[in-house]
């Protein structure tokens, strides 16, 4: 009996057929837009290494939050950028109820309410004069347990300011458990934790450090994960889940698609991935030089992250991707 005329290309013939059978679909509701708000600004300030991304003033942030909600994005992740004068050794501006991040959380809560999910970065690197993610011991190393006490205070301050989700991102051992205990004790049992569970010591954070005006000298390799290690990431995720993480995240995204896939296969909590500043900047730079098609590359990279198993994607392209998807579908 002869073989039938099998032609897989039949299902690729038109855009409509390709849409019908595509196995991985992107949706704006699965994307979270990271946004920066700078203390003292009166108008948005462009970030040179991240074309199209700005440091917001408190006023422009409110308007951008409304646009994000109206676009149907899943959420907003806020990062505060204090002035140099507001930074100190312990990052006290991060726990100050009137510090830039907590003030901005109140602003956005008042502006959009529950129309989108308001998330806040829970880390000290933006607020410390030395640029590390925690407080320092006398020998200059990061004091893990001393940092946990500050994270607990930060979590409560952010919840009080309106954060629906806090994102401990410093890769301190025990951070999720300490934050969960602090939130529960303060009456914020409904505030969720997005754990930066597998955050790698990547070379691709450079533009972000410009965006937050980082004071870092040296590196964070003693507490962020070593890029060659996958099984270590699974141990880190397991610890965070055991401590009460509601969502776990892999960061960066594209160089760690195998880690995203392994986490997705191994755990039954939602998995997020952060398409970080360097990933964004590389595509934008190549597109600006006419070497690649920006919008196709944007959607292709996001689709690969979704295909690997990330249910939630933090991306600076969230608004642009949402617009492109409306046109596509």
Residue 322 to residue 329: CA distance in whole angstroms: 11
Is there a domain that residue 15 lies in? no
Render pLDDT for 56-106 as a digit per residue (tens, 0 to 9). 999 999 999 999 999 999 999 999 999 999 999 999 999 999 999 999 999
pLDDT recorded at residue 212: 86
| Tally: H helices and E strands in the chain | 11, 10
Is there a domain that residue 208 lies in? yes
Angle at CA of residue 249, ends 312 and 157, nearest 5°: 95
Render pLDDT for 312-328 as a digit per residue (tens, 0 to 9). 999 999 999 999 998 87
The 10 Å CB-count burial string (b at 16+, else e) for 23-62 is: eeebebebbbbbbbbbbebeebbebebbeebbbbbbebbb
Point out the residues of the chain with pLDDT beneath 50: none
Is there a domain that residue 85 lies in? yes
Q: How many domains does the chain have?
A: 1
In eight-state DSSP terms, residue 91 is -
CATH number (domain holding residue 309): 3.20.20.70
Is there a domain that residue 4 lies in? no
The 10 Å CB-count burial string (b at 16+, else e) for 254-263 is: bebbebbbbb
**Tokens 């909590």 -> residue:** 269
Largest CA distance in the chain: 82
Q: Is the CB of residue 120 less than 8 Å from the CB of residue 191?
A: no
Is there a domain that residue 207 lies in? yes
pLDDT recorded at residue 220: 83
pLDDT recorded at residue 327: 83
Cβ atoms within 10 Å of 181's Cβ, excluding its own? 14
Is there a domain that residue 271 lies in? yes
**β partners of residue 168:** 122
**Tokens 């462009």 -> residue:** 46
pLDDT recorded at residue 27: 96
pLDDT recorded at residue 62: 98
Catalytic site positions: 199, 251
pLDDT recorded at residue 134: 86
Domain containing residue 102:
27-328
Q: Is the CB of residue 149 less than 8 Å from the CB of residue 116?
A: no
Is there a domain that residue 17 lies in? no
Is there a domain that residue 101 lies in? yes
Render pLDDT for 221-249 as a digit per residue (tens, 0 to 9). 888 889 999 999 999 999 999 999 999 99
């Amino acid at each position: 009996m002869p073989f039938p005329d099998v032609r897989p290309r039949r299902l690729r013939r038109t855009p409509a057929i390709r849409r019908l059978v595509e196995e991985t679909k992107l949706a704006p509701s699965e994307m979270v837009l990271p946004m920066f708000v700078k203390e003292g600004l009166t108008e948005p300030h462009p970030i040179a290494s991240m074309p199209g991304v700005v440091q917001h003033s408190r006023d422009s942030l409110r308007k951008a939050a409304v646009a994000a909600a109206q676009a149907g994005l899943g959420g907003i992740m806020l990062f505060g950028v204090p002035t140099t004068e507001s930074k100190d050794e312990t990052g006290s501006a991060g726990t100050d109820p009137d510090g830039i991040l907590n003030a901005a959380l109140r602003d956005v809560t008042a502006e959009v309410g529950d129309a989108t999910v308001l998330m806040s970065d829970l880390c000290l690197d933006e607020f410390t004069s030395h640029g590390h993610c925690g407080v320092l011991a006398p020998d200059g190393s990061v004091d893990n347990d001393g940092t946990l006490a500050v994270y607990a205070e930060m979590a409560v301050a952010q919840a009080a300011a309106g954060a629906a989700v806090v994102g401990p991102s410093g890769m301190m051992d025990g951070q999720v458990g300490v934050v969960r205990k602090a939130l529960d004790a303060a009456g914020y049992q409904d505030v969720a934790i997005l754990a930066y569970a597998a955050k790698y010591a990547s070379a691709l954070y450079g533009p972000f450090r410009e965006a937050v005006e980082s004071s870092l000298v040296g590196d964070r390799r003693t507490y962020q994960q070593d890029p060659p290690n996958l099984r270590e990431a699974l141990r880190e995720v397991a610890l965070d889940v055991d401590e009460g993480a509601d969502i776990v995240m892999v960061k960066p995204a594209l160089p760690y698609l195998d880690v995203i896939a392994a986490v997705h296969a191994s755990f039954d909590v939602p998995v997020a991935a952060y398409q970080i500043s360097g990933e964004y900047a590389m595509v934008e730079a190549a597109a600006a030089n006419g070497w690649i098609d920006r919008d196709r590359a944007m959607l292709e990279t996001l689709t690969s992250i979704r295909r690997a198993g990330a249910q939630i994607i933090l991306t600076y392209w969230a608004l642009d991707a949402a617009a492109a998807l409306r046109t596509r579908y």
